[in-house]
Structure 1
């Protein structure tokens, strides 16, 4: 059975730093969860380093602005890293062979708010018929599904365009509703035979960047806190450190609970076995 703890204070002494997910842990996409600011303050008071690590398909500065609007002051956490920031850096550096082979003309599959992933770089945003590759940041409108983009994916595949996905997540929970993300579009494209490259959780590479930002060399002294077994918990394991699962996030429906409720131990164990991932502990919500 997975140990369920009342808050992070039960395990905090084991770690010097925490890698914190955003959606499902810190906020629900619109507002911060109750008690988050106080929990971050407690981590800081305990001398713990923190980094917000999100699969959001936009740059870190945009996430900081969002957190500030939600009432999470900038001095409550140390660093911020996003999959969008990681993609931006890859597009800028072109050190990875896949990125180095991309052309300069991109088709942006995604909403205008995600343009900061590329709009200060030397790429041209063009229509699909003239593009060298697809930059996927997810559906344009909330509520759209993979099926809404099937024709776009088919056109891209007919031209054998590679796809860069700036968010590996399939879904997020936005105020209790499941919202399709870029990862679902990328997986459909890959299933169709398209070439896809992405950055973000659970890719071990992004955890190496996170650890460097924290300035902690001993991976056993770092713990991730996330709500998704297939990204947050799997990524932490791939990165070589522990993870605590927040049960009130993306898996709440599977566990038959609402945010803040304690999961049934048997159902939690079955869920972990299904995903093949076992966190060191579980908490109902992000609390100290």
Structure 2
């Protein structure tokens, strides 16, 4: 049986660092969860380091600004690792060519700003699909539209042998009470159609390598002293398992209904859900606090 805990403080002394998911764990896309913020601040006051580990398809500087607006203060975290940063490095290394077709909202155009940490980045030009060598997907044009609306473009891209760089492997997120599709839903569709999708966020190794490098700027922490915290089975949990890291599963996010979470998950429903997902977690709690 999974150990269900009431507060992070019950286990925090066992860890020197936490890789903490943002959406669904520290905020709901609109505002911060006060108890979750307090838990991170307490962990840091006790000497722990907090790495905000997010599948946001943007550079960490923009995420820092965003979380401040949501009400997450700077003293709740030490550094940030984003799938956007990991994916940008791949793009500027030429992973999908020089001429790319961008699928995503206007506010994601910061993704294409020059990558200062790279010595010799390739020149990237955004072009229409018919003139592209590859696709960069930071999210759907319309987060409420079914991903299948992209089938015609994806069929064309597949026949041309284009690769799709996915800057956010999340399938869905909940913005307040509204569920929205993410780039991962489009990448999954492209793969199902026979195209090749490249992933750089959770649960894939590249973002964990980035998180460890960012953490090493503050402290040298062995893997057995790192705790991953998040609400996504396919991203946070499977990513932690793939890296052999302990994980605290926040059940009140994406799987609140499936786990019977009100304040805490229903133990029987949680175990049934985990069995159906063919996975296990070190700890679980309804909401980070």
TM-score class normalised by the smaller sequence: over 0.9
Query: 2:62 maps to which residue?
Result: 62
> Residue 265 of structure 1 is aligned with which of 244, 255, 267?
267
Using the TM superposition, give the Cα deviation of residue 91 of structure 1 relative to its aligned residue in structure 2, in angstroms.
Answer: 2.1
Query: 1:113 maps to which residue?
Result: 107
Contact 1:226 1:232 in 2 (8 A): yes
| Structure 2: distance between partners of 1:243 and 1:74 | 24
Using the TM superposition, give the Cα deviation of residue 176 of structure 1 relative to its aligned residue in structure 2, in angstroms.
Answer: 2.4
Contact 1:230 1:277 in 2 (8 A): no
Deviates more, 1:148-157 or 1:82-91: 148-157
Unaligned runs of 5+ in 2: 116-122
Query: 1:22 maps to which residue?
Result: 22
Is residue 227 from structure 1 mapped to residue 231 from structure 2 by the alignment?
A: yes
Using the TM superposition, give the Cα deviation of residue 158 of structure 1 relative to its aligned residue in structure 2, in angstroms.
Answer: 2.7
- Count of matched residue positions in the alignment of Structure 1 and Structure 2: 279
* SS across alignment from 1:164: strand
Q: Which runs of 4+ in 1 moved over 3 A?
A: none
Query: 1:104 maps to which residue?
Result: 98
Deviates more, 1:158-167 or 1:210-219: 210-219
| Structure 2: distance between partners of 1:143 and 1:61 | 27
Q: Structure 1 residues 192 and 142, CA, compared in 2 at 3 Å: closer, same or farther? A: closer
Deviates more, 1:172-181 or 1:114-123: 114-123
Query: 1:31 maps to which residue?
Result: 31
Contact 2:16 2:221 in 1 (8 A): no
> Residue 243 of structure 1 is aligned with which of 220, 242, 247?
247
Using the TM superposition, give the Cα deviation of residue 149 of structure 1 relative to its aligned residue in structure 2, in angstroms.
Answer: 1.7
| Structure 2: distance between partners of 1:235 and 1:277 | 11
Residues 172-211 of structure 1: matches in 2 within 5 Å? Answer: 172-211=173-212
| Structure 2: distance between partners of 1:171 and 1:222 | 26
* SS across alignment from 1:69: helix
Query: 1:92 maps to which residue?
Result: 92
TM-score, reference length from structure 2: 0.92
Contact 2:38 2:76 in 1 (8 A): no
Query: 2:287 maps to which residue?
Result: 285
Using the TM superposition, give the Cα deviation of residue 75 of structure 1 relative to its aligned residue in structure 2, in angstroms.
Answer: 2.9
| Structure 2: distance between partners of 1:155 and 1:119 | 27
Using the TM superposition, give the Cα deviation of residue 119 of structure 1 relative to its aligned residue in structure 2, in angstroms.
Answer: 3.4
Deviates more, 1:271-280 or 1:184-193: 271-280
Query: 2:278 maps to which residue?
Result: 276
Residues 114-193 of structure 1: matches in 2 within 5 Å? Answer: 114-120=108-114, 122-193=123-194
Using the TM superposition, give the Cα deviation of residue 276 of structure 1 relative to its aligned residue in structure 2, in angstroms.
Answer: 2.1
1:68-121 per-position Cα deviation (integer Å, ceiling 9, x unaligned): 101212232101011111011222345xxxx1xx32110001111111222336
Q: What root-mean-square deviation, in Å, do the aligned CA atoms of Structure 1 and Structure 2 show?
A: 1.4
Contact 1:3 1:282 in 2 (8 A): yes
